[in-house]
Amino acid sequence: MPLEHQIDIRVRYSETDAMGYLHHANYLIYYEEGRTALLRAQGGNYRQMEEGGLFMVVVSLDCRYRRPAHYDDLLTLKTRISRVTPAKLEHEYKLFRGEELLAEAHSVLACVNTHGVVQRIPEEFLSDL
Amino acid sequence: MPLEHQIDIRVRYSETDAMGYLHHANYLIYYEEGRTALLRAQGGNYRQMEEGGLFMVVVSLDCRYRRPAHYDDLLTLKTRISRVTPAKLEHEYKLFRGEELLAEAHSVLACVNTHGVVQRIPEEFLSDL
Amino acid sequence: MPLEHQIDIRVRYSETDAMGYLHHANYLIYYEEGRTALLRAQGGNYRQMEEGGLFMVVVSLDCRYRRPAHYDDLLTLKTRISRVTPAKLEHEYKLFRGEELLAEAHSVLACVNTHGVVQRIPEEFLSDL
Amino acid sequence: MPLEHQIDIRVRYSETDAMGYLHHANYLIYYEEGRTALLRAQGGNYRQMEEGGLFMVVVSLDCRYRRPAHYDDLLTLKTRISRVTPAKLEHEYKLFRGEELLAEAHSVLACVNTHGVVQRIPEEFLSDL
């Protein structure tokens, strides 16, 4: 089961701001897409997990923005699981345009039920990590 | 019960695009805020309606964009209920910067339950319209 | 030169709302992505056009929302140029999940310069239409 | 000149996600609104600064999400300048619902010109800090 996954993302016009750059809040949306794609590559499906009443919520997140991205740039996002505990998953992200590193980030997600109470991450999401 | 309501909205940086304008999709978000504020001014509460299992979904929407808005512009949105039927509400919107009309729109919303089946709008939302 | 183009779009988590559906404003972002992709398929490049000081701005837009889309749905968007005049382009959009039509829309875009004054659309964007 | 400022923000429907919560990327948009409002309270105007060719770009940002926010929640955001250097500004943010702390964050912004080259922050933005 892969612990790392790579996707391509093209910057949408609506994701830019008046400075002409990809707005800094939208990096978090890309990181979320990276997580979803990594999980799918592992054979998991976050949507099914939610339908089963469990949610992975972002507990903390830190980003470093190194260089701006622009409309229509074709970017590459590398997402990696860096740590697994019974109720938490940590990811690392690196966003590139070609060889150029644009941004790096790290997040911690916790597994909760519909009442927001922390839960063990289901075995099928962890067995092979 | 008022059929018309007015709110002020300041354009956020994240809502602009590389052209330096308020991105055209974000007008719909303002219109939605206008509907929520109108309902609150009428004594209703859309959040409670949703908690009761009923939702107002947008069925159709048309906008005319006349002049652009920019970051930090302080805008005025006038929202008006233009037509009420047992399961639908129609709204009209006019967005101004001072005296200048920037955009106009019209929407139709339908009342549905959690299964997406069309329902009568609850009496308490209509009695005084 | 194609007048019609089709892309696949997967619904992001951040694009859903508390109802569990793709939020209605985000359809406009998909339509914009459809226009960009159609232009690229035609050999054009909207980014270059902007770098040359010309912009295509949305003048009007109308949508009909027929059925909701959900997180992680893989959708197909068909974008078609329906009318061309010296300074305006009209597009039609149909958004599908498999065979099922979820939404339809129509937009009018005008070509403007950096001062917002209407301009002729450059020949290279029109010659083969 | 105040180093701290407080604003109220009501959670928009479009800012929620399928979990029913304020989506975690949107906190960054609130923090940006907090910075803009703090600057305005100080007599500054970020829009004028940009018109003068200088931009404050986010260099790094870290957030802790403690409790979720929901649609229509009325939140209070406290924004504070925690450190000033010739080319950088650091801010701290605390987001509350009543007395309850929902999230905390810290950001570093750098002053750059239109070419992305780091610049001294203009005196009029710093003299009284």
Tell me the two tokens of residue B61.
Answer: 């929407």
Quickly count: other Cβ atoms within 10 Å of residue B11's Cβ: 22
Q: What is the pLDDT of residue A127?
A: 53
CB contact under 8 A, A72 and C46: yes
Q: If pLDDT is split at 50, 70 and 90, which confidence band does D128 have? A: low
pLDDT value of residue C46: 84
How far apart CA C121 and CA C87 sit, in angstroms, is 5
For residue A52, how many other CB atoms are within 10 A of its CB?
A: 10
The structural domain count of chain C equals: 1
Over residues D90-121, the pLDDT tens digits come to: 999 999 999 999 999 999 999 999 888 999 99
Amino acid at D98: G
For residue C51, the model assigns a pLDDT of 86
- The ipTM of this complex is 0.93
Q: Among candidates A22, B68, D55, which has minimal Cα distance to C114?
A: B68
* CA distance linking residue C78 with residue C8, whole number of Å: 9
Q: Decide which of C7 and B129 is more confident.
A: C7
pLDDT on residue A110: 96
Is D17 among the residues known to form the active site? yes
Which one of A21, A60, A90 would you mutate to disrupt binding with D, by most D Cβ within 10 Å of its Cβ?
A60
Smallest CA-to-CA distance from D93 within D106, D109, D84, D74 is with: D106
* Annotated active-site residue in D8, D17, D73, D128: D17
Per-residue pLDDT band for B91 (boundaries 50, 70, 90) equals very high
What CATH number does residue C43 fall under?
A: 3.10.129.10
Q: What is the pLDDT of residue D48?
A: 84
The pLDDT value given to residue C85? 93
Rg (CA), chain A: 15
How many angstroms away from the CA of B79 is the closest CA of chain D?
16
Decide: residue B45, CB within 10 A, 0-12 exposed, 13-18 middle, 19+ buried.
Answer: middle
Average pLDDT, chain D: 92
CB spacing of D18 vs C14 below 8 angstroms: no
Instruction: Measure the N-to-C terminal CA separation of chain D; round to a whole number of Å.
Output: 7
Q: How far apart are CA A53 and CA A41, in angstroms?
A: 22
pLDDT at residue D83 greater than cutoff 90: yes
pLDDT at site C74: 97
pLDDT number for residue D21: 95
Q: How far is CA A14 from CA A70, C33, C126, D53, D113, in A?
A: 11, 9, 24, 23, 23
Q: Is A78 exposed, middle or buried (0-12, 13-18, 19+ CB in 10 A)?
A: middle
Give φ, ψ of D99 to 5 degrees. Answer: -90, -10
Q: Evaluate the CA torsion angle A44, A47, A50, A52 in order and state its sign.
A: negative
Q: Is C72's CB within 8 Å of A33's CB?
A: no
By mean pLDDT, which of A35-44, B85-94, D29-38 is the weakest? A35-44
> Given a cut of 80, is residue D127 above it in pLDDT?
no
Contacts D32 to B, Cβ<8 Å: 12-14
Pick from C50, C28, C129, C34: nearest CA to C88: C129
Task: Report chain B's mean pLDDT, rounded to a whole number.
Answer: 93
Pairing of strands A54-65, A100-113: antiparallel
The per-type count for chain A, helices as H runs and strands as E runs, is: 3, 5
Task: List per-residue pLDDT tens for chain A, 129 residues long.
Answer: 779 999 999 999 999 999 999 999 999 999 999 999 999 898 888 888 888 899 999 999 999 999 999 999 999 999 999 999 999 999 999 999 999 999 999 999 999 998 889 999 987 776 555
Domain range for residue C94? 4-126
Q: How many other CB atoms sit within 10 Å of the CB of residue B44?
A: 18
Closest CA to A21 of A70, A64, A80: A70
Structural contact between residues A24 and A102, judged by C-beta atoms closer than 8 angstroms: no
pLDDT of the residue at B129: 54
User: Residue B35 carries which DSSP code?
Assistant: H
Q: Which amino acid is at D26?
A: N
Give, in order, the Cα–Cα distances in Å from B66 to each of A74, D65, D83: 32, 40, 43
Do residues A7 and A76 lie in contact, with contact meaning Cβ atoms separated by under 8 Å?
yes
Please indicate if any CB of chain C lies within 8 Å of the CB of A13.
yes
Integer Cα distance of B104 and B23 in angstroms: 15
Q: Which residues in chain B are closer than 8 Å to C68, comparing Cβ atoms?
A: 57, 116
In A, which residues are within 8 Å of D58 by CB distance? Answer: 24, 65
- Mutate one of B13, B29, B72 to test the A interface: name it (highest A CB count within 10 A): B13
pLDDT in tens, C25-34: 999 999 999 9
**D25 contact C CB<8A:** yes
**DSSP one-letter code for A19:** T
The reply to whether C72 touches chain D by the CB within 8 Å rule is no
Q: Are the beta carbons of A1 and A40 closer than 8 angstroms?
A: no
Q: Is B63 close to C65, i.e. CB distance below 8 A? A: no
pLDDT tier at B18, thresholds 50, 70, 90: very high
Q: How far is B19 from chain A (nearest CA, A)?
A: 6
A115-119, C62-66, D26-30: range with lowest mean pLDDT = A115-119
Catalytic residue, chosen from B8, B17, B62, B72, is B17
pLDDT (mean) for C108-113: 96
Instruction: With CB atoms and an 8 Å threshold, state whether A50 touches D26.
Output: no
Say if the Cβ atoms of D65 and A57 lie within 8 Å: yes
Does residue D106 come out as left (phi exceeding 0), alpha (psi in the -120 to 50 range) or beta? beta
User: Which of A14, A28, A46 is opposite residue C32, by nearest beta carbon?
Assistant: A14
Across B61-74, average pLDDT: 96
